[in-house]
Structure 1
Amino acid sequence: MTTMSHLDTQGLSIPRLGFGTFRMPGGGCQPVVESALSLGYRHIDTAAMYENEDGVGAAIAASGIARDDLIVTTKVWHENLAPKDIQRAFDKSLSNLGLDYVDLYLVHWPSRTMDLPAVLETLMRLREEGRTRGIGVCNFNMPLLKTAVETVGAPIACHQIEYHPFLDQSKMLAYLRGKQIPLVAYSPLAQGRAADDVTLQAIGRKHGVSAAQVAIAWLLDQDGVIAIPKAQRRESQQANLDALAVRLDEEDRKAIAALPKDQRFVKPPFSPDWDAPAV
C-alpha cells in the first residue's frame, strides 16, 4: 500500500483517506470496521444519526490498535443543537463508542433555529475539557462557515461536505485553503455513480484502475482535501486504499473538469441555502 499522507489542522494529524460508515447501522457495522482497521485505515467517521457508534467502538476495542494511532470522528444531529442538548448528545456518543475522548466532534447539519455562537462555544468547551481534541462543522454554506470562522473565531479543524467529480466546490475549497482548514469530502464516489461514469472509466483504463479509484485519486490530487469513502466489502476497502497510488496527469484533470459540476445528491429538506452569498 502507498504510504498514507496526513493533513495537519488545529493540532491534529488526519489521514487523507478515511473510512465512512453512513448507512451501516447496528451490529453489522462492527465486522466492516474491523476489516477496514485491519487493512490499515486509521481515520474512522461516524455520527449519532448513523446509529452505529457502538459497533464502531466495539471494532476499535477489538482491533488492539493504540488509541493514539486513530482519528475518530462523530457528530451531533441538527435537532440537538441547544447547548444542553449538545452536552447530552456528546455524552451519549462517547458512551456508545466506549472511548474517553473523540478526535473530532462536528455539527452534522446546521439548524435554522440554532444560536451558532452558543453551539460553537459549547463545542469549544468540550475541546478545552479534552473530551474532543478538535471541533468542526459539516454542510455549512459560505455565510455560516464565515460566521463560525471569522465572527465567532472558532478553531474549526475541518469542514465536511459533499464533494465528488460531479459537484463544484471550488469557491468553498478556495476559502478553506485560505484559512488552512481541510475539506473532508463525503459521498466521494457520488453514491456509486462514479463507478458508472464513462469519462472516469476511460481514465481508469489508461491507468489500469477502476473509475471509483479515479474519483478518489482526483480528490486526493487536490491540496487540502480528505476523502471518506465507505465500503462494506473488504475488496472495495482495499481498492479505495489502492487509489492512494494513482497519479493523474493534466489530460485526466481536464477531462474530469469538463464533467457536469452541478450534481448534488445529498439534499435533505433541512439543507441550508447553498447559493446564499457570503456576507
Structure 2
Amino acid sequence: MDPNLPPVGLGTMGIEEPEPIATALEVGYRHLDTARIYGNEAVVGEGLAASDVERADVTVATKLWIDALAGDDVGPTARESAELLGVDRIDLLYVHRPRGAYDPEATLPALDRLVDAGVVGAVGVSNFEVDDLDRAREVLDAPIAAHQTELHPLYHRPELLEHAREHGYPVVAYSPLAGGKAGEVDAVVEVAENHGTTPEAVAIAWATAKEPVVTIPKASTERHLRANLAAAEIELDPEEIAAIDAVDREEELYPE
C-alpha cells in the first residue's frame, strides 16, 4: 500500500486537544502525523472520530519510539497505538529513530509481519542516514513508504532527497517552519515580500517545491491551518529557490 501523502499534512506534536485535529480535517487536511513519544495518539484519534471526513480519505501516521523497537515489542506497541488512535489499521508506521532497541534484522521483519496482518498499511522510517536507508531497503519486504526528516531553510540534507528520488519514496519534512525562525532568514523574508505573503508560507512553498518532499507543519488555529495548506500553492521561481538553498547557516532543531 502506498500512503496518499498530500503536499501539506498536519504535524501534531504538542497538540493536546482534539479540536485542532477535527478542524484540520474540516478545512482540507488528509494526512495526520503523530508518534508514541508525543503522548497524544488518543487525542488525534478523538479528532479523527469527531470529523465527518471519510476514514478512508485520511492517512494516519504514527511512529514507534526507540524503546519499542525490539522485535517482540513492535507488534504489541503498534496494536496499542492503533487502539489509541481508534483505527483498525495504521496507514503509515515509522521507526522514529534508528537508535535504542533498533535492530534492522529484528525490528524490520516485525514491521513486515504487521503489514501482512493488516495492522499496518505501509512502513516508513524517520531520521535515518543514507546507510540506514540502504540497510532498511535490503531487509524490508515492504518498500520504504516514506522517510521523515527535518527540513527547513536553515537545515536540509540534499543527499537524503537524492536517495528518495533514486528509490521512489517521498520525504516527509518535519519542522518546515524552522521552529518559528523562518522570519529571521533574510532570503526567505525577501522572497515573501516579492510574493506578498509570509516567510512561513514561503518556507513551506520552498520545501514542497523540492521533489519528492511533502511537509507536516504543526498548527492549532484555523487561520494557521488554512495558511499552511494554501502555502503549497505558491510557485517560487528557480532563482528564489536557489537563494534560499544558498543560505549559509545550519541549525538542526532536533539533533541526536
Structures share a fold, TM > 0.5?
Answer: yes
CA distance in 1, matches of 2:101, 2:27: 42
* % identical aligned pairs: 38
CA distance in 1, matches of 2:134, 2:233: 35
Is 2:78 the counterpart of 1:87?
Answer: no
Which string of whole-angstrom CA distances, capped at 9 and with x for unpartnered residues, describes residues 93-142 of structure 1?
11111110111011111125532121110111101111111011101111
Contact 1:42–1:69 (CA under 8 A) maintained in structure 2: yes
Contact 2:124–2:147 (CA under 8 A) maintained in structure 1: yes
1:16 shift after superposition: 1.9
1:154 shift after superposition: 4.4
Contact 2:26–2:53 (CA under 8 A) maintained in structure 1: no
- What's the secondary structure of 2:105's corresponding residue? helix
| Gap regions ≥5 residues in structure 2 | none
- Aligned partner of 1:222 among 210, 218, 221: 210
**TM, length-normalised to structure 2:** 0.96
1:62 aligns with: 50
Matches within 5 A, 1:251-266: 251-266=239-254
Contact 2:21–2:47 (CA under 8 A) maintained in structure 1: yes
Is 2:37 the counterpart of 1:45?
Answer: no
Contact 2:127–2:148 (CA under 8 A) maintained in structure 1: yes
Letter in 1 for 2:81: S
1:71 shift after superposition: 0.4
Is 2:15 the counterpart of 1:32?
Answer: no
- Aligned partner of 1:98 among 86, 92, 111: 86
1:262 shift after superposition: 2.2
Matches within 5 A, 1:199-218: 199-218=187-206
CA distance in 1, matches of 2:70, 2:124: 16
Contact 1:167–1:260 (CA under 8 A) maintained in structure 2: no
| Gap regions ≥5 residues in structure 1 | 1-9, 272-279
Alignment CA distance shift 1:195-1:234 (3 Å):
farther
Is 2:109 the counterpart of 1:131?
Answer: no
- Count of equivalent residues: 256
1:158 aligns with: 146
**TM, length-normalised to structure 1:** 0.88
1:20 aligns with: 11
Contact 1:148–1:154 (CA under 8 A) maintained in structure 2: no
Contact 2:68–2:101 (CA under 8 A) maintained in structure 1: no
Contact 1:157–1:182 (CA under 8 A) maintained in structure 2: yes
CA distance in 2, matches of 1:168, 1:48: 25
- What's the secondary structure of 2:4's corresponding residue? strand
CA distance in 1, matches of 2:180, 2:218: 10
